[in-house]
Amino acid sequence: MSVGLLFDSTRCVACGACSTACKEQNKLPGPVDPEPTARTWTTVQTLEGQNVRRLCMHCLVPTCVSVCPVGALARTPEGPVVYDGGKCMGCRYCMMACPFGVPKYEWDKPVPVVGKCILCTSRVKEGRPTACAEACPYGATVFGTREQLAKEARKRIQESPSAYRDHIYGLGEAGGTGVLMIAAVPFEKLGLRTDVPKDPPAMRTWQVLANIPDFVAVWGCFLYGVHWITARREEVASGPGAGGHGPEGRSS
């Protein structure tokens, strides 16, 4: 069963324990950046008087995976969307495709890679919670199965309806995400996209790719035709009797 995180903005005090724990778990260098980078996979920002985490949303049908031509990104059976820098060729398609703008590139390295939250994959496989959830002292970040997290989110909203917007962000956005969020203010005020389609964007990628074989065949025939015509013209031009090309064509 797919696992993920529930982030409750109303309980977050921006202590930064989640960011520090992430740094330690993943051996990421440097201080915590104010926004996610290739070296800071999660951070907390304050907007509209509310604190909000920034991290990979771990889509159920990840667009980044669908556009990666070398399989550097993949979704594990447990739910985390992981990255293999050894396979990455640096095309950065994942950065352009992600509806949440998550993957970040190491622009300052001679052999750069992409950096993003991998939902503590090794810990999850061992049956342990993510480092950020374990470090959170206020229950603002909770780890569990997606079903458990959705149930907990509904419970909090129902028990304190005046404290929350009646919406669980991530249940339907982009086809559903492994990270769910609840808050007291509209999610767009927290910098979260509310215009993402309900259908997984990755489905559009696959619809395009499904037509690629036919397109390649037709385009290949066209290019071969152009090549044949060009080669034939050059052959005729350089053949016997052609003026100005070769000894036979020169005037005496």
202-242 pLDDT, tens per residue? 655 545 444 545 544 554 555 555 445 545 555 555 555 54
Domain positions in the chain: 3-200, 211-249
8 A C-beta contact, residue 164 and residue 182: yes
Rounded mean pLDDT, 64-93: 95
Given the DSSP bridges, would you call strands 81-83 and 73-75 parallel, antiparallel or unpaired?
A: antiparallel
User: Could you tell me the pTM of the whole model?
Assistant: 0.80
The DSSP line for 102-153 is --EE-TTSSS--EE---TTHHHHHTTPPPHHHHH-SSSSEEEEEHHHHHHHH
Nearest to 79, CA basis, from 99, 61, 67? 61
CA 109 from chain centre, in angstroms, equals 21
Would you say 161 and 168 are in contact if contact means Cβ atoms under 8 Å apart?
no
Instruction: Please give the backbone phi and psi of residue 210, each rounded to the nearest 5 degrees, phi first.
Output: -65, -25
Region 11-33 average pLDDT: 97
Give the CA distances from residue 239 to residues 179, 204, 228, 231, in Å, rounded to whole numbers and listed in that order: 69, 51, 16, 12
Structural class in CATH, domain 3-200: alpha beta
pLDDT at 225: 56
Distance CA 151, CA 141 (A): 14
Alpha-carbon distances of 180 from 53, 192, 195, 233, 245, rounded to whole Å: 11, 12, 16, 64, 73
Which pLDDT tens digit goes with each residue over 172-199? 999 999 999 999 999 999 999 999 988 8
